[in-house]
Chains A and B, each alone.
Chain A
Amino acid sequence: DIQMTQSPSSLSASVGDRVTITCRASQSISSYLNWYQQKPGKAPKLLIYAASSLQSGVPSRFSGSGSGTDFTLTISSLQPEDFATYYCQQSYSTPGITFGQGTRLEIK
């Protein structure tokens, strides 16, 4: 199985900050990398697919980049509603889909 490792596991930031979350795959996954946001008590929400494509309806302050084994999710200017847990997920080896362990973004 392809292992996905996110860093950091948790992060404190302030409204207006620029935030970057990193995801590393245990082997090359080309651009088959997706990002989800999950708020407490809610289902995950697709933010970015294919490493850098913004899902419809997602604010443009969210962006993704990377290919191969190293990927990043960037939030350009944190808004109060962005405090949540973020998961990366590889779809390279579908159906052997795997998620990262999550990054909890908290208010400083």
Chain B
Amino acid sequence: EVQLVESGGVVVQPGGSLRLSCAASGFTFDDYAMHWVRQAPGKGLEWVSLISWDGGSTYYADSVKGRFTISRDNSKNSLYLQMNSLRAEDTALYYCAKDISHSSGIMDVWGKGTTVTVSS
């Protein structure tokens, strides 16, 4: 079964840091680009970041550029999101999602998400 499981979401103070993880199984992880997408409480979906199959190319939404870093470890079938200088507006459910191919932008498998709350 193709599966993505996120972890690492907690309550953190403004200005703090956090690292999210996403464990992949059931498919050849290093064949696909991967995404992070977030959803603030009661709001719509916002794309956050994309990493190529080999980690050689990374891209970010303007709202997180310079604060978040996406990475992957293909030997561990894992995706990460390092989040620094967190703000209240980063509070959201964070999903990892598998691209349908090499950075097509189409997301065909999603995890259940992990919740990040930025609050003092």
- B47 & A97 in contact (Cβ 8 Å cutoff): yes
- A101 & B110 in contact (Cβ 8 Å cutoff): no
A77 to B112, CA, bound (A): 28
A73 to B45, CA, bound (A): 18
- A46 & B108 in contact (Cβ 8 Å cutoff): yes
Stretch of A12-20, A64-72, A87-95 on the interface side: A87-95
- Chain B 101-120 interface 0/1 with A at a Cβ cutoff of 8 Å (1 = within): 00111111011110000000
A96 to B50, CA, bound (A): 9
B32 CB to closest chain A CB (Å) equals 14
Q: Which of A8-30 contact B (CB under 8 A)?
A: none
Residues from chain B with a CB closer than 8 A to the CB of A36 are 45, 107
Residues from chain B with a CB closer than 8 A to the CB of A96 are 59
- A91 & B104 in contact (Cβ 8 Å cutoff): yes
- B106 & A34 in contact (Cβ 8 Å cutoff): yes
Q: When the two chains form the complex, which single residue of A90, A94, A99 contacts B45, counting CB atoms closer than 8 Å?
A: A99
- A43 & B113 in contact (Cβ 8 Å cutoff): yes
Residues from chain B with a CB closer than 8 A to the CB of A87 are 44-45
Chain A count of residues within 8 A CB distance of the other chain: 26
- B103 & A45 in contact (Cβ 8 Å cutoff): no
Chain B count of residues within 8 A CB distance of the other chain: 21
- B44 & A102 in contact (Cβ 8 Å cutoff): yes
A55 within 8 A of B: yes
B46 within 8 A of A: yes
- A95 & B44 in contact (Cβ 8 Å cutoff): no
- B103 & A94 in contact (Cβ 8 Å cutoff): yes
Q: When the two chains form the complex, which single residue of A43, A89, A95, A100 contacts B95, counting CB atoms closer than 8 Å?
A: A43
A95 to B64, CA, bound (A): 14
A100 to B46, CA, bound (A): 9
Would you give 7 A-B contacts (Cβ < 8 Å), ordered by A?
A: A34-B106, A34-B107, A49-B108, A95-B50, A95-B103, A99-B44, A102-B44
List 9 A-B pairs, minimum CB-CB distance, nearest first.
A91-B105, A95-B59, A94-B105, A43-B110, A97-B47, A99-B45, A95-B50, A102-B44, A49-B106
